[in-house]
Structure 1
Amino acid sequence: MSQSTLRIDPKWETHLRPQYMKVAVLLAPSRHHLASRLYSKHLLTASEEEEFNKLSKSKSEEEVAKEILCVLRKQSVGSFEKFCEVVSDVGDPTLDDVVKRLRQDSIERSLPSHSVSYVCEESVSLSSESTSNPWPSIRRNFTFLSERLPMSPFFIGCLYEKELLSEDEFKMLTDDHIVREQKIRFLLVDILPRKPFVMFTSFCEILDCVGQSHIADRLLENPLEVKLVPEVSVRRSEIANLQKEVELLLVQVADLDREKRAAVEVERQRADEAEAKATKAESERKKEEVMRKGEQLTNLAMRLKFLPLDEINDSLSSWTQWNVHMPHDSLEYNGMGEIEGRLVVGGDDGNLHVFTYEHDKWDRFVRKNGDIWNVVCHQGVCLVCVEDEDKDQFVIEQFYLNEDKKWRFLTVLPNELQLEAVSVALHDNSLYVVGGRSKSGERVNTARVCDLHSGHWYKMDDMQTKRRSCSSVIINNTVFVGEGETDEHYCSNIVECADVRDRKWRTIPSTTTYWPTLTSVSNRLVVIGGMTQQMFGSPSNIVELYDERSTKWLPLPLMTHKRWLHAAFSTQNGELITAGGEGGEHSIESLKCD
């Protein structure tokens, strides 16, 4: 037995335990006064008193009194006498009788008159061979036992301790979902009669221990059927130890239950705090997003000088023809950009062509093998989607104009992007690759994103339209994809867009021309040139700007030359530049939009 058990006042076990239920019933009407008086005598803590006051609103008087007695039985030596004093001070005559009953030695009073043994007078000297099974007396007294037999947890625990019950039988008899009548029938009909007859004496001992000696006497009354009942020795120390162990287990169960409820409450509080933090963080995020969008709209309005969209066309000049021509005979160019006073163009000859404004001169930077499918310029670096014919794969390479002017490998396109004629766009250090054509000639609608910091590729939803040789541009966190070839000799005028955050595609109104080139000016989507028909058309010089408010395409000044399969982009100063293409020969022209 532990040291904490030895410090408990033993009178709680010797005086209160045998008449625990009776005392709880008598104390029930005075539970309110009792809890406050016990607190004043330091027998209850403030939290325990508050807990009992709360229980009185949801539980019966008798249940609250039982809870109080359960807590008191853990008190130290001397607490029992303090409890008796508190009960006497209430001034209730009924409670005075309770005090008198408590101060008697109830263990002595609960033992039978013959104290220690049951022996049948005529059979003491008989040998074990002449004995018969005593358990039939239980079946003959079934009605008597079913009405009077206690089925308390203490009684069932004693049966289990004396090995009259197996672990499964103990769990069944302590199951609150099974009614008392079923438990008694199971005990008297199915369990006890199958036990060895020598255990009958243990059963009688337990009845004595729980104050039911009259039931034990009734079972031993018939000498005709029971020729020999072995001597039963009731040892006070064993009974007291068994009672203390059972009560200690009950106290431990109550402590564990309180600890569990406290842990659940702490967990609930933590969950509430976490939810509050998450709500606050979401609110801050939405606030920042609204402020960012407001700043973007303000910048856009300033760039457009607050002109209505239907007046923008009137403020624009006409296209200006450059005196410079493209450097080689090819009419098709795949991507165009500007880096610090130099115009960069990717040609279908597999080379990078750079025009320096200051020197009025073209330079060519040769790649050894493979075609260039797209060019993107950013912070002094050209990102180029190329075909590596030696390794038979498509890769992304870098070309630094401001340093050693050498090609550097960046990353390999994933297996699903090992395609020709893809389109590439750059936004916030993320590279977007869409569309293309497989080596078998099939058009695809795949879309992937590469984080240039980590080199990882991420998947977007597939586009609604399969296409190759399309063009793409990103405006205000939205990627637009248009034009291209959807089937053999079949041009497309379908434009799709997706937010770079949710990556879900949707369509906007189709363009007037087919297979135009997409770019942007002052954060507005612009399409340039294209074909007049879906199949076997001729190049066009139409230029259109998309109005998101009215979801309509508005006309801009016509180009000087009709163009198809040309390159186009806009400078930071808001100037549209287009070059090459069928119909445009080798010319370059521009349109100032400020």
Structure 2
Amino acid sequence: MDERWDTHVRPILRVLVKILLPLALRDGLFSDDLLTREEYERIKTYDNAEGTRQLLVSILPRKGPDSFDRFLNVLKTTKGQEHIAQTIMGNTKRKRKRNESRDLSSESNEKYGKLKRELKKERKEKNHWKMVATGLREKFSMGSHNLKWEISKPNIPINLCWPFGRVAEFNEVLHVGWVDRILQRKEGAWEGENHHLPGIDNIWGVFECEEKAYVMHGHGPYREQCQTISEWKSETRELQVLTKIPDENQLDARSVIGHKEKIYLVGGRSDRVDCFDITKREWEPMKKMKNEREWCSLAVIDDKMFAGGGGNKSGPSNSVECFIMEEQKWIEIKPTTNKLCQLSSWNEKLVATGGYDEEAGEHSNCVEFYDKPSGEWLPLPPMNMGRDGHGVCTTKDNKLIVVGGRGIGAWNKVECLKL
């Protein structure tokens, strides 16, 4: 990588974020082969600040030893961006003269580290006051900045590193599906960790639909075959088969959710969506998503189904799209802050918890909600520990519950946030 990205661009990144217009540049960058088609489309989904940061930090510096010079040439030939090339070149000349007798690499690393710490502090303060100032809109307006996550005891008796989509509450009892058993937390104690369900190879989803509990699971030696959806009888701890998923709908890595007597299967290393009508006992294909997804996170609010996170051919994702059931169409909304976060519905808001912070290189404790009027993700109080792949659900008494997941100390921990 050309060291000038570190020595001459990063120190003035805060200025460039304000004045650079990535959307005006994308055609020139694409024509000069500095952007692939996928990167070109991705830049279109960001606002100016985030698009600039992605270009200057994640994309262009990795385009080869001549990427810096090619980037300057594109700036010079892009209307309205010529002065930015002069700004960077002027900054380059001043840097070179000032650092003739210094170790450029050492100095730039020190300045970049200082700048990164300042930006992190500024971002933290900005998020706090943004949360207080906006009042988190409507129901989140009353003292929401004083909310705090609490560790809910007792701990889960099994380490759950990947329970997403398998956590739900039925009849005021928290249920967690894991491999071939369903754990239940009743009156402050966990039950069922040693109760293996006969004939079950792997549980893929635990969900509620019209006040009934359902489980999606696989049979036999291959988890992607013989997929079945069953009703869960909590009193007898038995599964009663509702429907066998048709062979053409059996895809690996699918996610499931229920809404108004219908069950939706989403993704599965594809963009497919299939719906099962519980009343009619019939399957029908739905409008395909805009993106292929595997193990995505799902939530339903006001007859709108949101699908986000998970992964695709390009790796982990933070994109989110919304299926408007009445119109039978998908629209994209602003991506979440982190990839691999989990979506849920809480107080009629779309909430994203955890995920993986690529910049920090660690599991995130970030919690945010989507503010529809502004189209922005606004912060909520962070969890006590970072995690991804966790399970999440909303309880009848208005609590947001997260369970297990990958992260230091998170495997067997349950956290709770109450408004």
TM-score tier by shorter-chain length is 0.5 to 0.7
Residues of 2 paired with 1:344 and 1:382: CA distance? 9
Q: Partner of 1:366: helix, strand, or coil?
A: coil
Match of 2:244 in 1: 412
Q: Do the aligned residues in 2 keep the contact of 1:541 with 1:558 (CA within 8 Å)?
A: yes
Indicate yes or no: 2:387 matched with 1:563. yes
- Which residue, out of 428, 432, 436, partners 2:264? 432
Describe the superposition over 1:517-545 as per-residue Cα deviations: whole angstroms up to 9, x where unpaired. Answer: 010111110000001129x9421000000
Indicate yes or no: 2:416 matched with 1:590. yes
Residues of 2 paired with 1:314 and 1:586: CA distance? 27
Indicate yes or no: 2:296 matched with 1:470. yes
| 1:52-71 → structure 2 map (5 Å cutoff) | none
Q: Partner of 2:192: helix, strand, or coil?
A: strand
Cα distance, 1:459–1:379 mapped onto 2, change above 3 Å: closer
Q: Partner of 1:416: helix, strand, or coil?
A: helix
Cα distance, 1:339–1:410 mapped onto 2, change above 3 Å: same
Cα distance, 1:377–1:310 mapped onto 2, change above 3 Å: closer
Match of 1:329 in 2: 159
Match of 1:527 in 2: 352
Q: Return the offset for 1:315.
A: 5.0
Q: Single out whichever of 389-398 and 418-427 deviates more from structure 2.
A: 389-398
Residues of 2 paired with 1:353 and 1:324: CA distance? 13
Indicate yes or no: 2:332 matched with 1:510. no
One-letter amino acid of the structure 2 residue matched with residue 400 of structure 1:
K
Match of 2:205 in 1: 374
Higher RCO, 1 vs 2 (CA within 8 Å, ≥6 residues apart): 2
Q: Do the aligned residues in 2 keep the contact of 1:519 with 1:525 (CA within 8 Å)?
A: yes
Indicate yes or no: 2:375 matched with 1:551. yes
Residues of 2 paired with 1:498 and 1:375: CA distance? 21
Q: Partner of 1:389: helix, strand, or coil?
A: coil
One-letter amino acid of the structure 1 residue matched with residue 372 of structure 2:
E
Q: Return the offset for 1:577.
A: 0.5
- Which residue, out of 184, 191, 194, partners 1:354? 184
Which protein has the bigger helix share?
1
Q: Partner of 1:560: helix, strand, or coil?
A: coil
Cα distance, 1:575–1:359 mapped onto 2, change above 3 Å: closer
Residues of 1 paired with 2:334 and 2:303: CA distance? 19
Residues of 1 paired with 2:382 and 2:140: CA distance? 16
Residues of 2 paired with 1:313 and 1:372: CA distance? 39
Q: Do the aligned residues in 1 keep the contact of 2:136 with 2:144 (CA within 8 Å)?
A: no
One-letter amino acid of the structure 1 residue matched with residue 354 of structure 2:
G
How does the TM-score come out when normalised to structure 2?
0.62
Which protein has the bigger strand share?
2
Q: Return the offset for 1:363.
A: 2.3
Q: Do the aligned residues in 2 keep the contact of 1:373 with 1:420 (CA within 8 Å)?
A: no
Cα distance, 1:502–1:412 mapped onto 2, change above 3 Å: farther
Q: Return the offset for 1:328.
A: 1.1
Unaligned runs of 5+ in 1: 1-304, 437-442
Match of 2:7 in 1: none
Match of 1:448 in 2: 274
Cα distance, 1:461–1:328 mapped onto 2, change above 3 Å: same
Residues of 1 paired with 2:401 and 2:163: CA distance? 13
Describe the superposition over 1:116-159 as per-residue Cα deviations: whole angstroms up to 9, x where unpaired. Answer: xxxxxxxxxxxxxxxxxxxxxxxxxxxxxxxxxxxxxxxxxxxx
Match of 2:219 in 1: 388
Cα distance, 1:306–1:464 mapped onto 2, change above 3 Å: closer
Residues of 2 paired with 1:485 and 1:312: CA distance? 36
Describe the superposition over 1:163-198 as per-residue Cα deviations: whole angstroms up to 9, x where unpaired. Answer: xxxxxxxxxxxxxxxxxxxxxxxxxxxxxxxxxxxx
Q: Alignment RMSD, CA only?
A: 2.3
Residues of 2 paired with 1:491 and 1:430: CA distance? 28
Residue identity over aligned pairs, in percent, reads 28
Unaligned runs of 5+ in 2: 1-134
Q: Return the offset for 1:310.
A: 7.7
One-letter amino acid of the structure 2 residue matched with residue 469 of structure 1:
W
- Which residue, out of 422, 426, 433, partners 2:254? 422
Structure number, greater radius of gyration: 1
Q: Return the offset for 1:461.
A: 1.1
Cα distance, 1:359–1:546 mapped onto 2, change above 3 Å: closer
Match of 2:144 in 1: 314
Q: Partner of 2:363: helix, strand, or coil?
A: coil
Residues of 1 paired with 2:160 and 2:394: CA distance? 22
Match of 2:233 in 1: 400
Q: Do the aligned residues in 2 keep the contact of 1:381 with 1:401 (CA within 8 Å)?
A: no
Cα distance, 1:381–1:539 mapped onto 2, change above 3 Å: same
Q: Return the offset for 1:307.
A: 5.2
Q: Return the offset for 1:412.
A: 1.7
Q: Partner of 2:248: helix, strand, or coil?
A: helix
Q: Do the aligned residues in 2 keep the contact of 1:354 with 1:362 (CA within 8 Å)?
A: yes
One-letter amino acid of the structure 2 residue matched with residue 408 of structure 1:
Q
Aligned pairs, how many? 278
Cα distance, 1:559–1:306 mapped onto 2, change above 3 Å: closer
Describe the superposition over 1:188-214 as per-residue Cα deviations: whole angstroms up to 9, x where unpaired. Answer: xxxxxxxxxxxxxxxxxxxxxxxxxxx
Q: Do the aligned residues in 2 keep the contact of 1:445 with 1:464 (CA within 8 Å)?
A: yes
Describe the superposition over 1:496-553 as per-residue Cα deviations: whole angstroms up to 9, x where unpaired. Answer: 111112221110000000010010111110000001129x942100000001111110
Q: Return the offset for 1:420.
A: 2.2
Q: Do the aligned residues in 1 keep the contact of 2:148 with 2:381 (CA within 8 Å)?
A: yes
Q: Return the offset for 1:379.
A: 5.6
Residues of 1 paired with 2:218 and 2:136: CA distance? 45
Q: Do the aligned residues in 2 keep the contact of 1:380 with 1:400 (CA within 8 Å)?
A: no
Describe the superposition over 1:280-315 as per-residue Cα deviations: whole angstroms up to 9, x where unpaired. Answer: xxxxxxxxxxxxxxxxxxxxxxxxx99547846735
Cα distance, 1:492–1:383 mapped onto 2, change above 3 Å: same
Cα distance, 1:313–1:412 mapped onto 2, change above 3 Å: farther
Cα distance, 1:338–1:517 mapped onto 2, change above 3 Å: same
Q: Do the aligned residues in 2 keep the contact of 1:333 with 1:581 (CA within 8 Å)?
A: yes
One-letter amino acid of the structure 1 residue matched with residue 328 of structure 2:
R
Cα distance, 1:313–1:345 mapped onto 2, change above 3 Å: farther
Q: Return the offset for 1:467.
A: 1.1
One-letter amino acid of the structure 2 residue matched with residue 591 of structure 1:
L
One-letter amino acid of the structure 2 residue matched with residue 556 of structure 1:
L
How does the TM-score come out when normalised to structure 1?
0.45
Describe the superposition over 1:306-338 as per-residue Cα deviations: whole angstroms up to 9, x where unpaired. Answer: 954784673552000112111213321142111
Indicate yes or no: 2:219 matched with 1:363. no
